[in-house]
């Protein structure tokens, strides 16, 4: 049963299948389907607002969803307009035009998650960057908490957020090994990132271009002779300007 058909008629006696459809249309249950990803099968839940959650397709996802959102899950087809958009969003690691349901998030958390969704594939950003993006530069810890509570991992790519010291950090969708696997699949090279963090490298400068960048920035010229810096302030003191694309900030 699709959500579209569930919305078409919510009156009169309801056989079991229609009753499930009515629950979907009335918002007391979310539909879900299973999708294959590089970290295994995941459950993608959706309702009339948009995609509401992504979770590992293990034996406990239905209870976790009910506990978190107060709604049960019903196996269902997503609206036809989303049929190709959900797998595409999982692959790209960004919602694109796919509607998402962030009603369970606070306004601050939703802002942080939307900023997270804009991190390009194959790149990472620290918690402090997210806090600055939402105009709360002193709220790096709160930004980290918002990322940890992300209800839609993979589609909102919290695996692309690292600790403010550059370390990879944890991951809510199955643990750090899944985060590492996702970054590897995007050629973000997690071992290299951990190596930079151990050397306290936060940004990389390209003196010939007069700019400095986050280490994974797509605009870094691979032929450049890099100068590594421990902070944005050090890079600025060296006379370099921040990249307009990755916007490195303290």
Strands (E), the chain: 29-37, 40-46, 51-56, 72-75, 125-126, 161-162, 203-206, 211-213, 226-229, 241-242
CA dist., res. 198 & res. 192, Å (int) = 10
CA 27 to chain centroid, in Å, comes to 24
CA dist., res. 92 & res. 188, Å (int) = 14
- Selection from 226, 229, 233, 235 nearest residue 250 by Cα: 233
* Residue from 158, 217, 243, 246 carrying the catalytic annotation: 158
- Selection from 41, 44, 30 nearest residue 1 by Cα: 30
Active site residue 246: no
Structure-block tokens of residue 204: 């990389």
| Residues whose CB is less than 8 angstroms from the CB of residue 200 and which lie 6 or more positions away in sequence, other chains included | 165, 166, 230
CA dist., res. 221 & res. 139, Å (int) = 32
CB 34 within 8 A of CB 42: yes
- Relative to beta strand 72-75, strand 29-37 is parallel
Q: Active-site residue numbers?
A: 158
């Amino acid at each position: 049963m699709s959500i579209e058909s569930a919305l078409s008629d919510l009156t009169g006696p309801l056989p079991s299948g229609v009753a499930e459809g009515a629950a979907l249309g009335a918002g007391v249950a979310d539909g879900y389907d299973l999708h294959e990803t590089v970290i295994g099968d995941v459950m993608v839940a959706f309702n009339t607002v948009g995609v509401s959650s992504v979770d590992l397709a293990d034996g406990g996802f239905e209870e976790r969803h009910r506990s978190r959102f107060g709604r049960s899950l019903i196996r269902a087809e997503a609206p036809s307009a989303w049929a190709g958009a959900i797998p595409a969003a999982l692959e790209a690691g960004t919602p694109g035009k796919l509607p998402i349901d962030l009603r369970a998030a606070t306004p601050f958390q939703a802002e942080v998650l939307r900023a997270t969704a804009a991190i390009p594939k194959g790149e990472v950003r620290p918690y402090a960057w997210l806090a600055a993006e939402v105009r709360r530069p002193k709220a790096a810890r709160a930004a980290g908490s918002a990322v940890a509570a992300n209800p839609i991992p993979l589609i909102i790519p919290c695996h692309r957020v690292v600790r403010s010291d550059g370390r990879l950090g944890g991951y809510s969708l199955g643990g750090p090994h899944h985060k590492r696997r996702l970054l590897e699949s995007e050629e973000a090279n997690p071992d290299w990132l951990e190596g930079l963090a151990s050397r306290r490298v936060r940004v990389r400068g390209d003196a010939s271009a007069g700019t400095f960048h986050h280490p994974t920035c797509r605009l870094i010229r691979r032929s450049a002779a890099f100068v590594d810096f421990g902070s944005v302030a050090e890079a600025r003191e060296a006379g370099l300007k921040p990249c307009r694309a990755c916007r490195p900030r303290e």
